[in-house]
Amino acid sequence: MTGPTPTPSPLLASLLSATECHPTTRKRLLGPDVNYGRELLVSLARLTGGWIGWEAVNLRGIAEQLAFVPLARSGRRAGGDIEIGAIVNAALDAAIATNTLDPRFVALQPSLGFRHAVRDAVLELRTAGVSPAELRAATKRGTPAYDLAAVVEHYERLLAASELVDPAGIFRAALDAFDAEAPFVLDGETFVAPGLVARGLAGELLARLVARGAHVLDGDDALEPAIANAEFFAAATPSDELREVLRRALARGARWDEIEIVACDTDTYGIALDALCQRTGIGATMLQGIPLARTRLGRAIDRWMAWLSDGLAADILREALEAGEMTLPGGDIPSTLLARELRRLQIGWGRGRYESAVASLASPPAPARYEDESDEEYAARTVARTRSSRALGDFLARLLAATPAVPERGSHRPVHISTPRLAALMLRWLELVPVHGMAERQTMDRITTRIGQLAGIEQPEVGFASALAALRDALADVRAWPLVTEERKPWSASGGMVHLTDLAHAGTTGRPHVFVVGLDADRTAGPVRQDPFLTDTVRGALPAGRMATNAERREERATLLRRALATLRGRVTLSYATSGSLDGREAGPAPVLLECWRIVARDPTLSFEKLRDALRPPACAVPDEGDAPVDSRDVWLAAIADGALLLDGTEVVRECFSSLDAGLRAADAAVAPEAGPHHGVVLAAMGEFDLVGRGRSLSPSSLELLAKCPLAWFYRNGLGLRPPNDPDYDPDAWLDALDRGSLLHEIYEEMAKRYLGRQREILDDDARDEVLRIADEVIARWRERVPPPGETVFESEAAEVRRAAIAFLEMERNLMRGGDRGEWLQLEVSFGGAGEPPGVYELGNGRKLKVHGRADRVDRMPGGGLRIVDYKTGRPTPYQKSPKKAPFDGGRQLQPAIYAAALRQVLGERVARFEYRFPTERGESEIVAYEEEEMRAALGIVRGLLEQAESGAFLPTTDAHDCGFCDAGTICRATRGKYGNSTSPRAEWASANVEQEVFRLMRELRGAAADAEEEA
C-alpha cells in the first residue's frame, strides 16, 4: 500500500497562496529552467485540480521577450550554439594573426580542446558582463587570461558584423529596453523560485525584476521537517543503489509513478537507470536524459566516425550492420545478411575497394558450389545470394555517396575538408540509420537539427582529423532519452514511470516516495579543477559578484544540496554507493548525509565511522532475505544465496535450463578418455558419407583434409561450416598470401600460353622483357581490383612479383639447359566440374570415386607419358619428402596421385610424373616429384580414408601442427604460438588416447613417421 499524500512543502503552499490571491491574473513562475516550473505546476494541480494563469519561465525566456522589439528593429537575431562557436573560432584566428599574443598561447591553437576552452571562457566573460579592458586590468601580460582579452575584442567586432547576438547580447538588450518593454511584457505577477542564483547580466535582470515587484516564493531552509523520518542505506555500486531503490519501492507497494529519484550525478545514475529499465522493462522518465554516447544512436555515430578515422575499415562497417545500426532504407534484406555479404567481399579498407565491390555487385558471380549440395539447394542459394548481393551494392552506393574522402591507411597524403561539408555528408549518412520509437526519434531530431545548423555555416577547409573532431564536439552536449520511456515528453514526470531528476529540481514532482542517490563525498563536493584561463585569481580580481570562484561554486553546490533536501516531502530515503569514487578508492558518505543521520538519530555526536558501520553491508546484486525481487535476476541470486554468500548454484541452474545442462554434460564427455559422439564418432552418420555410393565429387584437398584431421573435414563437408574470411589490415602489405598466389599463377599461365608450341624461345633474350610485360599487365589488373594501402607498399610488392616472374622464367630456362625436353602440351586442364570432362579415381572392384580439380600445366615427355606440373608460390617445406614422413605424408599429400589417375583418363595417356614446382625466391626453384609407381601406392590410403568417412568416425588429429592454419581451429580452441608452434586441446586428447581401435587407420597412415621419430 502507498503512504498518505505528503504535506505540501512551504514552496507549494506559497504557490497555492499566490493562486488564491491572484486567481485569474497572469502569473509567471520564474525558475532555473522551464521544466522546474512545469513540474511544480503539475504538483500544484494535484492539490487544486488545475491552475489558471500560470506559466513556467526562466531568465533567458524573459530576456528574449524584453529584447524582441529592439533586436527586430536593429535587424539582429539570436545566434545558435553552432553559429556562435564558429564566430569564436574566427575571433581566435584573427587575434593570432595580429602577432601580438604570447607564443605559448598561439602554440596551442591547433588543439581542439584549447579552442573549446577559449570558447567557454569568452562566452562566460560576455555573460558576466566583463569587458576586455576590465579583464586586462585584472590580469598580467603574458598570462592566458590577458591574451584572451584580444580574442574577446575580435569576437565582439565579428559578432556585430554578423548581425547575430549571443546570450550576453540578449540579456544586454533586455536590460537596455527594460523600462520601455516591461509594461508590455511583464504584465501580471512574477513569482521567483527560492534560492534562484544568477550572476552577471542575468543577475542584473533578476535584480531588476525583483525591484519591479517580483515576489520571491517561500523556500525550505531547515533539514529537520524533510528528513526527520528519513531512511538510509549504502550500496556497492550506483547500479546496485538503483536496484535497491526499486526493491524498496516494491516492498512498500508503491506505484512507479510515485517514485522520484534525485541524483547528485545525473550522468552516472541516468546511464545505470536506463540499463536497469531495459533489463526489467520498467519505464523511466529523466529530466536530463543520458549522454548521447551511451545510446544506440550515439554508438552508431561513434562507429561511423571510427570507420572514417580508420580508413573505411570493413570490419567496423560489418559490426555496425550486425548491430543493426545501419540498414538499407525500404529494403527487405536484414542488415545482418548485408553484414554477411560484406564479409564475403573481403574489402578490407579503402574507398577504392568499396567502389570495386559496388561495381562487381551489380552482376554478382554465382557462389561456389559446396561438395555435398544438390542442384535445387544450389539454385535457391544462388537466387538468395544474388538478391542480397544487389541489396548490399545499393547500400554501399548510398553509403559512399555520403562518405567524404578520408586519409587512406598507410598513406601520408593529407586530406582536407570543411566541418560544414562533413556535417552535410553526415546528414545523408543518418538516412541509413534506423530509428526505433518516439523517444529515439526525438533524439534523432535533435541530432539532425544541430548538424543541419553546422552544415549551414561557411568555414574554410581544415585537416580531416580537425573537421571530424569539430563535428564530434558539435554533438558532445546532445542529450538522449532512454528506450523504455514516455514517448511524448520523456523529460517530464509521467504516469506509470519512475522519474529521475537532479538536485535543482528535487521535490518538484510532489511524488510521495523520494530517493536521493549518489550522496557520497566526491559527487556532492562541487568543482575541483580551476578554469585554465579564468583562474580563481582572475575571478577574484574582477568586480565582486561577476564571476564565481571555485570556492564559491562549491559553496553554492552545498547550498543547493541542503535546499534540495529541505524541499523534500513524503517518505525520503538517502543513499550513496561505496564504489562511487572517481579515483577507484572506496567512496565515503557526504557530510550532509552524516548531518541528516544525526538529525534522524537525534545525536549530534555520531561520527562518519559509526555511519559507515550502520549502513553495512552495502546493498548489492544479491538481495537480502525478505527483499522484493525486481526481476528474474534477483530471484535467481536470492535462490542461491546464504546471506551475503553465494552458494554453488550449478545443480539448480542445470535443473531449470535443460539446454545448458546438455552443454555441461557435453563438456564433461569431451574430456572423457573413451571416444564418442563428442569426439567426432558420429554413428548416426554411418552410411551418410558413402562418398562413392552417393556419387559425390571430391577435390584432392578434401581428401587431404580427411587424412589430416577427419573432424575438421566433418565440420567443413559434413556440417557445411565455412569460416568468415575477413582480411586483416596490414599497412605494410598489399596482397595476402592467397591473392599473391593467384596473381603469380596468372603470370605463369599467361607466359606459358604465349610460348606454347615454341617453348625453346624462352631461352632468347627478349623472353625476359616479355615476362616482365606480362607481370606488369597482371599487376595493373590486380591493382584496379585491390587498391594498395600506399605507393611505397605497392612498389615493394610489385618488385617482388617481378622477381618471382623472372625466377619462373629462369627456372624453366635452367631445366631446358639441363636436358629437360618435356613439351608443354596443355595449360589449366580442368576436370570433374560442370561442362568439363569427368574426373575419376579407380578404386578397384568396379568402384570409382568422382574427383575434380585443375592442373596448371601438362607436358608430354620424350620417353612417353605425361608430366603434370603444379606451381606453388610458398615455401616447399610442407611438400618435401623425408624419411621421417610417412608415404604421402600420411595422406596429407594426395594431389599427385589423384591428378595422375584423373588426367590419365581425361587425356588418354599414362601419367609418368607429377611435379610440385616452387618458382619463386622463397621456393628457391625447388621441385618435389612423384613417379608413376610411387603414385599408384596411394590407392590403399584413399580406400582407407573413404572407409573411415563411411564409418562415421571423424576423429581429431593427433598432431597439433595440423591445427596451425585450420579453419576449425576456433571451434577446437586451437592456438598458434611463436615460431609456428600450435596447441590444441582436441589434438592433445587424441594423442593421449590414440591406442583406441577407432584410431587404427590414423595410426597406420602415420606409423612410418612415428617409427622414424622413435629411431631418431
Q: Can you read off the three cell numbers belonging to residue 363?
A: 552482376
Q: Where do the DSSP E strands lie in 456-600?
A: 462-463, 479-480, 498-501, 513-517, 571-577
pTM for the model stands at 0.77
**pLDDT of residue 1016 exceeding 50:** no
- Helix then strand then coil, in percent of the chain rounded to 5, is 50, 10, 35
DSSP conformational letter for 740: H
Spatial distance between the Cα atoms of 504 and 40, rounded to a whole number of angstroms: 12
Spatial distance between the Cα atoms of 940 and 896, rounded to a whole number of angstroms: 15
Report the pLDDT averaged over residues 496-507. 94
**pLDDT of residue 980 exceeding 70:** no
Spatial distance between the Cα atoms of 307 and 426, rounded to a whole number of angstroms: 13
Q: Which of 806, 818, 815, 816 is nearest to 751 (CA)?
A: 806
Specify burial of residue 854 (Cβ count, 10 A radius: 0-12, 13-18, 19+): middle
Give the model's pLDDT for residue 580. Answer: 57
Please count the other Cβ atoms lying within 10 Å of the Cβ belonging to residue 184.
Answer: 10
**List of residues 6+ apart from 791 with CB closer than 8 A:** none
Instruction: Provide φ and ψ at 888, rounded to 5°.
Output: 55, 30
Q: Which of 967, 628, 920 is nearest to 801 (CA)?
A: 920
Give the model's pLDDT for residue 374. Answer: 64
**List of residues 6+ apart from 202 with CB closer than 8 A:** 59, 60, 63, 127, 171
Q: Where do the DSSP E strands lie in 677-787?
A: 697-698
Spatial distance between the Cα atoms of 160 and 164, rounded to a whole number of angstroms: 7
Are 274 and 248 a contacting pair, CB within 8 Å? Answer: no
Assign residue 925 a region: left if phi > 0, alpha if psi is -120 to 50, beta otherwise? left
Give the model's pLDDT for residue 411. Answer: 74
Chain segment 600-626, per-residue pLDDT in tens: 999 999 999 999 999 999 999 888 888
Chain segment 161-207, per-residue pLDDT in tens: 998 999 999 999 999 999 999 999 999 999 999 989 899 999 999 99
Give residue 719's pLDDT band: very low, low, confident or very high (50, 70, 90): confident
C-alpha neighbours within 13 Å on the C-beta side of residue 930 = 28
Spatial distance between the Cα atoms of 182 and 175, rounded to a whole number of angstroms: 10
942 vs 114 pLDDT, higher one: 942
DSSP conformational letter for 963: G
Spatial distance between the Cα atoms of 573 and 558, rounded to a whole number of angstroms: 19
Give residue 847's pLDDT band: very low, low, confident or very high (50, 70, 90): very high
Chain segment 667-677, per-residue pLDDT in tens: 999 999 999 99
Question: In this structure, which long-range contacts are made by residues 343-347, counting pairs with CB atoms below 8 Å and at least 24 apart in sequence?
Answer: 343/318, 343/724, 343/725, 343/726, 344/725, 345/314, 345/392, 346/725, 346/726, 346/727, 347/314
**List of residues 6+ apart from 203 with CB closer than 8 A:** 545
Assign residue 235 a region: left if phi > 0, alpha if psi is -120 to 50, beta otherwise? beta
Q: What percent of the chain has pLDDT over 70?
A: 96
Total residue length of the chain:
1016
Least confident of 173-177, 400-404, 945-949: 945-949
Give the model's pLDDT for residue 371. Answer: 56
Are 468 and 309 a contacting pair, CB within 8 Å? Answer: yes
Instruction: Provide φ and ψ at 644, rounded to 5°.
Output: -85, -5
Q: Can you read off the three cell numbers belonging to residue 227?
A: 528528513
Give residue 1012's pLDDT band: very low, low, confident or very high (50, 70, 90): very low
Chain segment 518-549, per-residue pLDDT in tens: 999 999 988 888 888 999 999 999 887 789 99
Strand partners, 917: 871, 927
Are 2 and 255 a contacting pair, CB within 8 Å? Answer: yes
Helix (H, G, I), strand (E, B) or coil at 192: strand
Spatial distance between the Cα atoms of 903 and 829, rounded to a whole number of angstroms: 9
Q: Where do the DSSP E strands lie in 246-346?
A: 259-263, 284-286, 290-291
Can you spell out the DSSP letters for 379-408?
Answer: HHHHHHHHHHHHHHHHHHHHHHHT----PP
Chain segment 262-315, per-residue pLDDT in tens: 999 999 999 999 999 999 999 999 999 999 988 899 999 999 999 999 999 888
Rounded to the nearest integer, the mean pLDDT of the chain is 89
Bond preceding residue 677 cis, omega within 30 of 0: no
**pLDDT of residue 3 exceeding 70:** no
Specify burial of residue 496 (Cβ count, 10 A radius: 0-12, 13-18, 19+): exposed
Give Cα separations from 195 to 191, 192, 455, 982 (angstroms): 12, 9, 40, 70
Q: Which of 323, 318, 362, 369 is nearest to 341 (CA)?
A: 318
Are 836 and 830 a contacting pair, CB within 8 Å? Answer: yes
Give residue 795's pLDDT band: very low, low, confident or very high (50, 70, 90): very high
Spatial distance between the Cα atoms of 249 and 230, rounded to a whole number of angstroms: 14
Least confident of 272-286, 459-473, 916-930: 459-473
Mark out the alpha helices in 657-736 (DSSP H runs): 658-670, 700-708, 710-713
DSSP conformational letter for 921: T
Chain segment 19-73, per-residue pLDDT in tens: 999 988 999 999 999 999 999 998 888 888 777 889 999 999 999 999 999 999 9
